[in-house]
């Protein structure tokens, strides 16, 4: 597949990309976080710390990156594989291949949930990035209701 087809594929998805960017900016401006779960509920999501981990990797600070999110390399691998699959329109064929892929995704889900639960138990709410966001929509609603009583 040539670059012209890849750019055409990206161009066809520009409205969705633009809407996503607008949503992130809206959340950032009104709550101080671009994470949907954290912006609405105030609690960190399973991916919280990933952006800071990538920033630390870009500065060459591996230990800091792993502190912010221990699965950052797994996350980057998944994103890279998905982008490769998307741009080059690769499909998984065969029933046994799809089953192996589904089992692999299920194991990844369990891994992420396990790391998330352990991070919530060990670090929430006192250590970054596993902190409560009081400016979340739910936090503001709770503060508003408390103001009446």
Position 30 scores a pLDDT of: 82
Per-residue pLDDT band for 44 (boundaries 50, 70, 90) equals: very high
Question: Which residue in 109, 114, 131, 136 sits closest to 36, CA to CA?
Answer: 136
- Write out the DSSP string of 39-97: HHHSSPPTTTTHHHHHHHHHTT-HHHHHHH-TTHHHHHHHHHHHHHHHHTT----SHHH
N-to-C CA span, the chain: 63
Position 5 scores a pLDDT of: 72
Instruction: Kindly report the pTM of this predicted structure.
Output: 0.73
pLDDT mean across residues, the chain = 87
User: Pairing relation of β-strands 130-131 and 126-127?
Assistant: antiparallel
Q: pLDDT of 117-127, one tens digit each? A: 999 999 998 88
């Amino acid at each position: 597949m040539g670059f012209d087809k890849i750019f055409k594929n990206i161009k066809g998805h520009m409205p969705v990309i633009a809407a996503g960017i607008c949503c992130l900016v809206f959340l950032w401006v009104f709550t101080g976080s671009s994470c949907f779960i954290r912006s609405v509920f105030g609690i960190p999501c399973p991916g919280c710390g990933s952006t800071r981990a990538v920033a630390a990797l870009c500065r060459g600070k591996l230990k800091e990156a792993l502190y912010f999110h221990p699965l950052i390399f797994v996350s980057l691998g998944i994103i890279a594989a998905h982008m490769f699959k998307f741009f080059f329109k690769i499909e998984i064929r065969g029933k046994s291949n799809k089953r192996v892929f589904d089992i692999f995704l299920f194991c990844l889900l369990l891994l992420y949930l396990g790391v998330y639960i352990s991070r919530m138990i060990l670090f929430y709410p006192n250590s970054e990035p596993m902190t409560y966001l009081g400016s979340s929509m739910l936090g503001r609603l709770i503060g508003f209701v408390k103001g009446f009583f």
